[in-house]
Structures are given as structure tokens and as C-alpha cells.
Amino acid sequence: MLFNTANSQSFVDQGNEWVQNGSFLAGGFYPIFYFVEGDTLIGGHTYAKVLFYENFGNASTDTTYYAAIREVNDSVFIIDSDASEADERLIYDWNSLVVDTTEVTTYPTTRLETIDTITLLNGEQRRRFSYTAYREIYPTDQLDTMYNYRTVIEGIGEVDENVFHRGYIATPELSPPFGLRCFSKNGELLWLNPIYDVDCESLILATQKLGEKTPFKLFPNPVQDVLYLEWLDNKQMKGCLNVYSATGGMVYTQEFSGGAVNHEISTKTWVKGLYFILFISENGKQFVSQLVKV
């Protein structure tokens, strides 16, 4: 399905995935995964469906319908999951010119100050739009305070806040808790936010591989102090096992060479929350499991 009829890089392609900071739990911000999957017909227009998965430190991997988006002549429109066709709103306009002023949500008014280009991880060039944002702050008699915190990348979207504009413009004391961590397309990592020290590629892989049968069993789950790994069929597979926190940091790694079928992992020093276990076999096959530390 073609949604974009102009020349910019499309925001609404199937396979697009965004990883963004979400809820603050267990000493860190848990990621939200947004992705475009399937389409729907609303009021005679075809929209792409945006689904999301937010991790609150539990083992659930259920996805939820988040919004419907469409792209026409370089303009991106959205209908939130709890809204009607009449509530469709503009969130991005890739035809914007310097000094253009727009209101992309009910909160801020933004003015486009500069347009330059950045290079993605695959070498592709994208336009970057830098805005100043104006909004009411507290106390309420202080109006029109300017924040230079809004950056938008063509085809990727908002960097500093909710990528689908369901939130507030960043402020100095809050930025960047809800910023975009990274963007991928069909599993290929294209953009990584330099302010976050996370392994976005592993997080994206983890969401894609969840649900596949693994060659090992992990118990107990949830775990407190010691995690037991038991290889199925009494045969240890050769490869490397990595454990990542929900914020993307690696907390454990172990090479396996085909020896004992049982293995113990100390989890005493791990913070409470959700972890991804990624095993890559010697022939490159990848398996992912989830674990909760309590």
C-alpha cells in the first residue's frame, strides 16, 4: 500500500519501528516500541496502523493499537486510538519552510528555525528540522517561554518527545526522559540517538524474536538470586548468551562450547525489572527469551 505520493522519505512505511523512553521504573526508563503493521480504512481514507508495546517490568509482550496514520503530499496525519475521524490532526509536514509556524498538538506552537541534513547509519541522507517551541508554563502568568528542544528528522519524526505528538514539548529540567532512542526499518537500525547509552539493536531484535521456541529452559522466572539454565534434549548448543536490561545495557555474557547441560547465573546484583536473554548459536541462529528479576 502506497501512502506517500511525494518525494520525501516516508514516515508511514510498513516495517518502520521506533524505540522511545517510556515509564520510569526500577531506576531507569523502560522502552516503548512503536511499529507500523497493517492498514485500516477510516472515512474513505486508508491509514497505516501503529501498534505499540510498553514494558512495565513484567513478562507480557502484548501489543496494543495506538493510532492510525496516513501520509499525503509530504504531510503526515494521525487519528489517535481513542479519537474519531473528525479528530484527525497534522503531526508532520515535510514541505515546511524556515520561519513557518505550526501547532502540532493542543499544547505548543513551534517555529521552524533551520533545516540541515544528517547521515543515517546506512549512509542515507535525511533532512533535519530544528524548531523553537513556545508553550504556557507555570506559574501561569509566565507565557510564551521559548525552549530550543524540538528536533524532527525526515521520515523518522520527533527526537525530543513522543514521536506521534501525544505529549509535551521537552523542558530543560525534564529533557530528555521521553526522547526517541532509535529508529529501524525492517529490522535494520538506521538512526541512534547519541544521548542514550543503550543497545537499541538488541532491543529491536528481542521484540522480533520473542515467541520463538528456545533450545533452553530458564527457571525460576521471576528470579531472585540464582537463575538456572537447562539445555533441552540433554545437549548444550554452542554459541554466545547475552542478557540485556530493559534499558538496553548488557548485564551478563557467556560463551557455550557444547559441554554441561545445566548452567547457573547469579542475579543478586541485578536491579529489579525485565531482562532479555539473547542466544546466538555458532551458525548464527538467534533465540530470545524474557526474564523478570524480583
pLDDT digits (tens, 9 = 90+) for 267-288: 999 988 778 788 888 887 777 7
Query: What domains can you pick out in the chain, each with its CATH number?
Result: 16-196 (no CATH), 209-293 (2.60.40.3080)
Check whether 67 has a pLDDT greater than 80. yes
Would you say 280 and 206 are in contact if contact means Cβ atoms under 8 Å apart? Answer: no
**234 dihedral zone (left: phi>0; alpha: psi -120 to 50; beta):** left
Name which of 191, 159, 190, 163 is nearest 175 in CA terms: 159
Farthest CA pair distance, the chain? 70
Stretch 207-225: mean pLDDT: 75
Check whether 29 has a pLDDT greater than 70. no
pLDDT, tens digit (0-9, with 9 covering 90-100), for 136-171: 444 444 444 445 567 899 999 988 778 887 644 444
What pTM value is reported for the model? 0.64
How far separated are the first and last CA of the chain, in Å rounded? Answer: 44
Name which of 169, 239, 197, 203 is nearest 18 in CA terms: 203
Cα 219 → chain centroid: 28
- Residue owning grid cell 523512553: 21
C-alpha cell at 71: 501520509
Say whether the peptide bond before residue 194 is cis (omega within 30 degrees of 0).
no
Would you say 125 and 118 are in contact if contact means Cβ atoms under 8 Å apart? Answer: yes
CA separation, residue 30 to residues 27, 89, 244 (Å): 9, 28, 12
More confident residue, 22 or 289: 289
Cα distance between residue 35 and residue 275, in whole Å:
21
Sign of the Cα pseudo-torsion (232, 235, 238, 242, in order): positive
